[in-house]
Amino acid sequence: MDTMTSESPRVLGEATLAELRTRMLGPVIAPGEDGYENARQVWNGAIDKHPALVLRCSGVADVISGVQFACSEGLPVAIRGGAHSVAGFSTCDNGVVLDLSAMAAVRVDPRNRRALAQGGATWRQFDHETQAHGLATTGGLVSSTGIGGFTLGGGVGHLVRKHGLACDNLLSAEMVTAEGELVRASEDQNADLLWALRGGGGNFGVVTGLEFALHPVGPVVLGGVVFYPGQDAVQALAGWRDAVSGAPDELTTLIALMTAPPAPFLPEDVHGKKIVVVSVCWAGPLEEGEEVVRPLRALATPLADLLGPIPYAALQQLIDPMYEAGAANYFTSAFLDELPGPALETLADAHQRSAGLPASCELHVHLLGGAMARTAPGATAFSQRQAPYLINCIARTPTAEGFEANRAWARATRDSMVRFGAGQMYVNFTGEGDEDKVRASYPAETYARLAAVKAHYDPANRFRFNQNIRPAQAG
Ligand SMILES: Cc1cc2nc3c(=O)[nH]c(=O)nc-3n(C[C@H](O)[C@H](O)[C@H](O)COP(=O)(O)OP(=O)(O)OC[C@H]3O[C@@H](n4cnc5c(N)ncnc54)[C@H](O)[C@@H]3O)c2cc1C
């Protein structure tokens, strides 16, 4: 008999598990079994959930078996790609986790500049295959991020101004529905589903295959980071804002207010102190790029300048060591139309105020625009295309200790930007899943259309561990 208590995960009966194992090629990992403790972990160490089962799917057939099993047992389903959901959506208490991490194959068609990737691949795996042909598409700034969650939520990366969001490059997808049926979404087939997958998140089913458009990139680009002292934050922010205004699409950049890591390339006396970091990717002719990035190297007196020619695949992994799994994390974000002087001072003040808090508080300002802004807002479910800036307020502590104070700081910092027009959140950069916040992330007509697609593919809201779109009610 199945049992469930509030303290322990639901335990499924032996016979139930044995029957499921006959239908799965990949491991079925239940509470108490070897590997369960590891299998229930996700990137964000603040998340501590106990699923009834983790199913490490070997392919589409396993996904279908897993969905059908969850349905027959009346269990909710969490979908896991790269496990980087900051809100912890890729795990759950007492439900089934469909872990796609073993489904990571990427097949490249260099002639037609297309890549077909399984739904559990990470950007590291994707870039490795595509860069062998000098090709790429917009991918995450941290290479361990999954292509699945990243693309379905939009996808802002080093190529966003040159080649658009990751979801703009999604040409087609294969998805297992809540009924366990495999469907295809493309411009010609279930076009409404493709529209919804381009920004509507993991709401509609388990995406087992994603087909992307590729572009010639690198293999060497001009990229890297320049570090400045924290006391120069307002000057650096204003200089960055002015230098990047009207920049060619080849330039994608962000400026971050952070705490200096104990890295050998930074002077020892700034370790642990507040710093400013400018991140750059120039995906065009290198000599031309040197001229464009020149002002970004002179926003104040640099502490270190690590900007230069670099393989695109290496740039994609450059900041990985700063975002390893296991720490407690919280992100909250907003799109912004303007960055007037008082807004920059507010950000710099918040950054300095975080000095009293344990561990790391970060404020990132991404430059958007370019190709991303040239797609019509209604063309995809991702609709925040006109705002030139995106801020991400990040709180991180090594353990749960001090996490609440850092999270409160991140929320307060975001709120302090509302008077400067800080608007909708970016669903990928948020640790929240409340219904009102998700609704507010989309224009009303976009949300209504998403709800209709949701009602078609997942009317019972079986896939609800995500920035959840409620299925539209019939009639
Ligand atoms: C360190 C770090 C760096 C990041 N950098 C960036 C960045 O540069 N740009 C950016 O835009 N975002 C970035 N993000 C946010 C990231 O895009 C989202 O957290 C995204 O959801 C992660 O995808 P994942 O597959 O790794 O996550 P998971 O936790 O596995 O999944 C997250 C969500 O996506 C759904 N999902 C995942 N795969 C599938 C699938 N195959 N089918 C259906 N649903 C699926 C899940 O149901 C879940 O709701 C970053 C996050 C972290 C933690």
Which residue out of 43, 63, 85 has the highest number of ligand 1 atoms within 8 Å of its CB and is therefore the one to mutate?
A: 85
Mean pLDDT, the chain, rounded, equals 94
Q: How many CB atoms sit inside 10 A of residue 35's CB?
A: 12
Instruction: Check pLDDT > 60 for residue 7.
Output: no
Asked if the model's pLDDT at residue 160 lies above 60, the reply is yes
Question: Which atom of ligand 1 is the closest one to the Cα of 467?
Answer: 49
What pLDDT score was predicted for residue 354? 87
Which atom of ligand 1 sits closest to the CA of residue 156?
A: 11
pLDDT tens digits along 179-218: 999 999 999 999 999 999 999 999 999 999 999 999 999 9
State in Å: Cα 435 to ligand 1 middle.
19
Return the best residue to mutate from 44, 106, 116, 152 for the ligand 1 pocket (most ligand atoms within 8 A of CB): 152
Whether the per-residue pLDDT at 5 is higher than 60: the answer is no
Task: Tell me what pLDDT residue 299 has.
Answer: 98
Q: Using an 8 Å Cβ cutoff, are 317 and 225 in contact? A: no
Q: Residue 358 — pLDDT band, cuts 50, 70, 90?
A: low
Dihedral sign, CA of 430, 432, 437, 439?
positive
What are the angstrom distances between the C-alpha of 101 and each of 199, 245, 286?
Answer: 21, 40, 36
CB of 206 within 6 A of ligand 1: the answer is yes
Q: Is the CB of 149 under 6 A from ligand 1?
A: yes
- Tens digits of residue pLDDT in 381-422: 999 999 999 999 999 999 888 899 999 999 999 999 999 999
Q: Is the CB of 240 under 6 A from ligand 1?
A: no
CB 199 less than 6 A from any atom of ligand 1: no
Give the global pTM.
Answer: 0.96
Q: How far is the CA of 19 from the centre of ligand 1 (A)?
A: 32
What pLDDT score does 432 carry? 83
Residue 475's pLDDT is what? Answer: 57
| The predicted structure's pLDDT at residue 219 | 95
For residue 3, pLDDT over 50 is answered with no
Segment 60-82, tens digit of pLDDT: 999 999 999 999 999 999 999 99
Q: How far is the CA of 417 from the CAs of 139, 330, 341, 348, in angstroms?
A: 27, 17, 12, 12
**Mean pLDDT value of segment 52-65:** 98
How many beta carbons lie within 10 A of that of residue 422, not counting itself? 21
Ligand 1 centroid to 44 CA: how many Å?
12
**Ligand 1 atom with least separation from CA of 79:** 47
> Is the per-residue pLDDT at 153 higher than 80?
yes
Distance set, CA 296 to CA 89, 242, 318, 391, 475 (Å): 37, 10, 18, 19, 56
> How far apart, in Å, are the Cα atoms of 233 and each of 61, 243, 257, 336, 351?
52, 15, 7, 19, 9
Three-class SS string for the chain? CCECCCCCCCECCHHHHHHHHHHCCCCEECCCCCCHHHHCCCCCCCCCCCCCEEEECCCHHHHHHHHHHHHHHCCCEEEECCCCCCCCCCCCCCCEEEECCCCCCEEEECCCCEEEEECCCEHHHHHHHHHCCCEECCCCCCCCCEHHHHHHHCCCCCCHHHHCCHHHHEEEEEEECCCCCEEEECCCCCHHHHHHHCCCCCCCCEEEEEEEECEECCCEEEEEEEEEEHHHHHHHHHHHHHHHCCCCCCEEEEEEEEECCCCCCCCHHHCCCEEEEEEEEECCCHHHHHHHHHHHHCCCCCCEEEEEEEEHHHHCCCCHHHHCCCCEEEEEEEEECCCCHHHHHHHHHHHHHHHHCCCEEEEEEEECCCHHHHCCHHHCCCCCCCCCEEEEEEEEECCCCCHHHHHHHHHHHHHHCHHHCCCCCCHHHCCCCCHHHHHHCCCHHHHHHHHHHHHHHCCCCCCCCCCCCCCCCCC
Tell me, what amino acid is at 245? Answer: S
Residues in the chain: 475
Asked if residue 153 has its Cβ within 6 Å of ligand 1, the reply is yes
Q: Could you give the strand order of the β-sheet that contains 106-109, starting from the edge strand earlier in sequence?
A: 106-109, 114-118, 206-213, 170-176, 182-185
Q: Show the CA angle centred on residue 45, arms to residues 44 and 50, nearest 5°.
A: 95
Burial of 165 (0-12, 13-18, 19+ CB in 10 A): buried
CA distances from 225 to 72, 155, 257 (A): 51, 21, 13
pLDDT of residue 356 exceeding 90, the answer is no
How confident is the model over 146-154, as a mean pLDDT?
98
What value does the mean pLDDT take over residues 38-66? 97
Percent of the chain at pLDDT > 70 equals: 97
CB distance 157 to 143 below 8 Å: no
Per-residue pLDDT tens for 246-304?
999 999 999 999 999 999 999 999 999 999 999 999 999 999 999 999 999 999 999 99
User: In ligand 1, which atom is closest to the CA atom of 175?
Assistant: 42
pLDDT of residue 9: 67
pLDDT tens-digit series, residues 310-341: 999 999 999 999 999 999 999 999 999 999 99
pLDDT tens profile 78-134: 999 999 999 999 999 999 999 999 999 999 999 999 999 999 999 999 999 999 999
- 119: tokens are 């739904």
